[in-house]
Amino acid sequence: MPEPHHDSLGPSLWVIRFASLIRAGGPVLDLACGRGRHVGLLLERGHRVVALDRDAEALATLPKCAELEIIAADLEDGSPWPLAARRFAGIVVTNYLHRPLFPMILGALEPAGVLIYETFAAGNERFGRPRNPDHLLKPGELLELARGPCEVIAYEFIEVAVPRPAVVQRICARKLGGS
């Protein structure tokens, strides 16, 4: 049976579970948003959303509305971080990994801002792509990322069966410094 393409997936249950922790009405960044399977969810929750991806074709499928800012940018071509000093109440990253961005992602969270991150991890090679270690989190890697600047609300490093067999790591963490 062919693997479901990420574009055909609904929102991640992990993102759905923790989206309510993002400050009501606060701006949210969906980094490497693809066709925006989380954009609708975040807009429905009343957030202003910044959806960023390098794939102009995918971005063209996103809804056009005042609450949604669409940014076409390549995050890996050596250009400066495209969000400059902007800060977000929430940042969602799913099925995307480019380790050099970790400091920028954490830096773009406002105090008490919530990071919801879920992507493939070591062990996923057994099930399919991605297999490249550059695209697979190492054991505990998201935990190490968040510890220090954030309090960790939930973390898993787990083999899942749906939407297809895979090994994923996922975290929800809140940046320290809020009141």
Residues near ligand SAM (CB under 6 A) are 6, 32-34, 37, 53-55, 58, 74-76, 94-96
Q: Which helix (H) or strand (E) holds 156?
A: strand 150-160
The pairing of beta strand 88-94 with beta strand 109-120: parallel
Distance CA 179, CA 176 (A): 9
Q: How far is the CB of 177 from ligand SAM (least distance, A)?
A: 27
Q: How far is the CB of 99 from ligand SAM (least distance, A)?
A: 12
In the 8-state DSSP scheme, what is residue 4? Answer: P
150-160 sheet: strands from edge to edge: 68-72, 49-53, 28-31, 88-94, 109-120, 166-175, 150-160
Closer to ligand SAM at the Cβ: 83 or 112? 83
Q: How far is the CB of 176 from ligand SAM (least distance, A)?
A: 26
Closer to ligand SAM at the Cβ: 170 or 174? 170
Closer to ligand SAM at the Cβ: 75 or 152? 75
